[in-house]
Amino acid sequence: MNNAAAATYGRMDEVTLEDHRRIFDVNYFGVLQGSLAAARHLRTKGGAIVNLGSVLSDRAMILQGPYSATKAAVQAATDALRMELEQEGAPISVTLIKPAAIHTPYPEHARNYMDAPPKLPPPLYDPRLVADAVLFACAHPRRQLYVGGGGYAISLAGKIAPRLTDLAMEAFGVGSQRSSEDAGVLNRRDNLHEPRPEGVVDGAQDAQVRKTSFLLQAQKLALPSPGDVVRAGLNAVADLAEAVDAARFRHRRP
């Protein structure tokens, strides 16, 4: 299982190039190196590679551009590795886990360029749900698993209506990531270039944390996701429209 992450909160033009590179070194190259090492080890024995992506692999988040970019890169690398291993017949499953906002110390550890403390936008999910998804993927091959329906909704909206999703994020995305905490926490040290020693699982953000993810449970049972239902509906509408157009064309021919 490969999970390496560092983050910033700030506009793309505020984050230094040094910090951009550091995030890619950790988030992308860290996961890539672990994936390739695992593939070499498992080629003959067989096994599972599970990489941690994010719902931001699908949809960039305002003020988290560098992090979003690395998670999109992790998704592309994971997909490419899966195809290559499958092509050569290697007995290895490759799964990408896509968590929503998880109640970890992510905002406390991120480098902050804002003039207010950062926070995760609701809804927040228990970190143990991600652990459950990872464990499940090790024994039951899946292409990807989403953890948290709230984040999946943003991912789906970005695919169906990208422009409207842009406008919604521009209107609400900044405020949803700015905390009203005491500004004194702005001085706390991040872990972008140096580790922090706490080693805690749960974050300090005061928020209601969801202990279940019905979307994850549905995927574990191989039930169709909301996105599958929506896409099937849109495909059916498109097929119907084409059939109607074809019928009209035949009717108009002399």
Single out the residue of 26, 34, 32, 104 nearest to residue 66, CA to CA.
26
Say if residues 85 and 94 touch (Cβ distance below 8 Å).
Answer: yes
Phi, psi of 230 (to 5 degrees): -65, -45
Q: Confirm whether 113 is a catalytic residue.
A: no
Q: How far apart are CA 147 and CA 162, in angstroms?
A: 21
CA 37 vs. chain centroid, Å, equals: 23
Locate all alpha helices (DSSP H) within 1-148, ordered by sequence. 17-24, 30-45, 65-87, 106-109, 127-139
Say if residues 98 and 45 touch (Cβ distance below 8 Å).
Answer: no
Instruction: Choose, from 67, 106, 125, 146, the residue flagged as catalytic.
Output: 67
Q: Which residues are marked as active site? A: 67
